[in-house]
Amino acid sequence: MPLAPLAALALALAAAPGPAPTTAPKPASTPASARAPASGGAAAGPVVLEVTADRGVAAAIVGAVTERLCAAVAEAARADAICPDGAPELDVVARAEALGACQGEDCPRTVGEALEAGRRVLARLERDASGGLRITVRLLGAAGVPVASAAAPLPEDVEPLLARAASLVPGLFEARGAGAR
């Protein structure tokens, strides 16, 4: 990465209001924040969330699932979650994009690397052969080593869909005790 984007990223991270992202308190108005560790544990390094989807999955569904997964990852990992644009709670990514440090879907990954994120959650939304919606989530540890994964069909109704997608996340971090720190 060229030096100028790294400097812009450093400015974006330094311009974040309040304490460093891993120590920011959780706001009371939301069930979980993409920038705050969940209550009841010591904060670990940040976790990067990356969400991809087939062309047949509506952008509104991808955005809603991203927001819900972002909150679930922050809570289950007891750490900050660095999330794509679908999760408005995290403005560090937006600042990094505005300053030219990164662009598009690669920005959460770039910010995560700058913050030395050792864990990633990859989520994939896809349509199966019969047209049903399905999600696969994977937790990758240090150096991209797979730690845990889960997959499930999703209902078509939005709230049950979001609840089901988020329900897969805690199991990733409980698997072999390797995910949560």
pLDDT over 90, % of the chain: 38
Confidence of residue 115 (pLDDT cuts 50, 70, 90): low
Residues 169, 125: Cα–Cα separation, whole Å: 14
The pLDDT assigned to 61 comes to 94
Residues 173, 16: Cα–Cα separation, whole Å: 27
Check pLDDT > 80 for residue 181: no
Q: Which of 36-40, 89-93, 97-101, 111-115 is predicted least confidently?
A: 36-40
The pLDDT assigned to 116 comes to 64
Q: Among all chains, which residue has been given the structure tokens 């809570």?
A: 75
Phi, psi for 149 (deg, rounded to 5):
-150, 160
Q: Which residues are bridge partners to 48 per DSSP?
A: 82, 120
Residues 98, 178: Cα–Cα separation, whole Å: 35
Confidence of residue 91 (pLDDT cuts 50, 70, 90): low
What dihedral do alpha carbons 173, 52, 115, 175 form, nearest 10°?
A: 10
Check pLDDT > 70 for residue 162: yes
Q: Which of 155-159, 161-165, 175-179 is predicted least confidently?
A: 175-179
Q: Among all chains, which residue has been given the structure tokens 């994977």?
A: 138
CATH of 3-177, picked from 3.40.50, 1.10.20, 2.160.20, 3.30.1560, is: 3.40.50
Residues 90, 120: Cα–Cα separation, whole Å: 16
- Domain residue limits, the chain: 3-177
Residues 179, 147: Cα–Cα separation, whole Å: 7
Q: Which of 18-27, 70-79, 120-129 is predicted least confidently?
A: 18-27
Q: Which residues are bridge partners to 145 per DSSP?
A: none
Confidence of residue 171 (pLDDT cuts 50, 70, 90): very high
Averaged confidence pLDDT in the chain: 73
